[in-house]
Structure formats: C-alpha cells, structure tokens
Amino acid sequence: MKRRDFIRTAGGSAAATTAVAAGSGTAAAQTVQPDFTELEGIDGGIEDLRGESEVTVEVGASGNGGNVAFSPAGIWIDPGTTVTWEWTGEGGDHNVVATDGPAPLESELIGEAGATYEFEFTEDHAGITNYQCEPHASLGMLGAVAVGEDVPTVEVGGSSGGWPEDLAHDAGVPIQKHYVGIASFLGIAVSLVFAFYVLKYGESPNTGQGGA
C-alpha cells in the first residue's frame, strides 16, 4: 500500500473512531414525555401524537394479562385534537371514565366491536386527564391524555453508556461511558502510531522501501 493511501485510510479510521465517540454522546440525549404516573407498569404504551388533528385509541387491546388495555394507554396531544376510542370487541364490556383532570370523559359501558366514543380536547382541557375502564381498573385498564405544552414532564431515553439501557442489556454488552472513552482513545492512538511508522519507514525515494 502506498504511503498516501495508508495515510488516507488511517485518517479515516481515526475520524470514524471520533465520530463513534461523538455519536455515543448524541445517542445518550434524553427526551421528555408527560408525567403519566398513573400508568407506571401498565401495558399499552405512550405516544407523542402532537400535530395530529384526529387520534384513535383502541379499547380492549391486548395487555395487562388479557384484552384489558387501552392502546396507546398514554397520549400527548394538542388542543383541538379529537380523540376516538374504538372498541375491539375483546375482553368484555368496557367504558371510558375520567378519574381526575380537566376533561369530563364518560362513555357508556360497551362490548360491541367497532363502537366508538369521541371527545374533542380544547384549551379548557389543558393538562393531564387520567381515565379508566371501570370494570377492569383493578386489572390495569387505565389511560391518560396530556393536552398542550404546559404539562408536567419527565425525562426518558438515553443512558450513561450512550445506548438505551435495555438495548445494551439485550445485546449482552455492558456498555459504560468510560469503556467508550477508552476504546476511542485506543483507536485514535493506534491509527496515529501506524501513520507515524509508515511515514518513517514506508515508501520513500531515499530508502527504497514501500510498495509499488
């Protein structure tokens, strides 16, 4: 390999290593979501649906040990959004009834698939409204709607190692911040040592060494 080609390769390796280190810091950046305390340990998930004018939530979705979940259980929306709860027909009769918060949610007890309940959230409903299915609340059939920007939030995502902790755990790699730093340093050091070696002992019209 010619010296100039090797230098380009070594330089690229060092840059790539630096990019990985920088990228790991970016991956660790955290985001926020509404503080849905009532939904801790509840199936159904949480979705940021701001920007949508119409949103659908399944009633009787799979979760909480049966078809007794709202999906998504927690949603974050803008004022002016219409939310439609649509029954799957699974898990028995369900309803949607507010337990606290500014929105007076209250549907009939329904078991029919395809049945719906609609509610338009306005500025008057800004904040977090928690609700439940009364027959299955004890099983975890709970939901929440956050409306607007002025709601309590919590930081989610990111980790001390630059990957989400659950992803690192699933990969079987205990990534820590100091591991990333050490690996980055070693990668750059090795690239520089090889570059120096080739510059000193590689292709040269004086030494006659090096490749063609």
Higher pLDDT, 3 or 84: 84
The reply to whether the predicted model has a pTM over 0.75 is no
When pLDDT is cut at 50, 70 and 90, the band that residue 8 belongs to is: low
What's the pLDDT score for residue 27? 43
Q: What are phi and psi of 71, to 5 degrees?
A: -135, 115
Higher pLDDT, 183 or 130: 130
Higher pLDDT, 76 or 30: 76
Sheet strands (E) in 3-159:
31-34, 46-48, 54-63, 66-71, 74-77, 81-87, 97-100, 116-121, 127-132, 142-147, 153-156
DSSP codes of every residue in 79-123: TTEEEEEEE-S-SS-B--EEEESSS--B---B--TT-EEEEEE-G
Residue 41, pLDDT > 70, answer: yes
What's the pLDDT score for residue 197? 72
Name 104's Cβ contacts closer than 8 Å, sequence gap at least 6.
Answer: 98
51 close to 64: Cβ distance less than 8 angstroms: no
When pLDDT is cut at 50, 70 and 90, the band that residue 203 belongs to is: low
When pLDDT is cut at 50, 70 and 90, the band that residue 189 belongs to is: confident
What's the pLDDT score for residue 179? 57
What's the pLDDT score for residue 167? 45
CA 37-41-45 angle, 5° bins: 85
205 close to 13: Cβ distance less than 8 angstroms: no
When pLDDT is cut at 50, 70 and 90, the band that residue 7 belongs to is: very low
What's the pLDDT score for residue 200? 73
Q: What are phi and psi of 172, to 5 degrees?
A: 75, 20
pLDDT in tens, 15-38: 444 444 444 444 445 699 999 999
71 close to 189: Cβ distance less than 8 angstroms: no
What's the pLDDT score for residue 162? 40
Give me the residues paired with residue 76 across strands: 48, 146
- Strand bridging mode 153-156 / 31-34: antiparallel
What's the pLDDT score for residue 15? 47
What's the pLDDT score for residue 137? 98
CA distances from 47 to 52, 74, 143, 187 (A): 12, 6, 12, 39
What does pLDDT average to over the chain? 81
What's the pLDDT score for residue 30? 66
- How far from each other are the two terminal CA atoms of the chain, in whole angstroms? 8
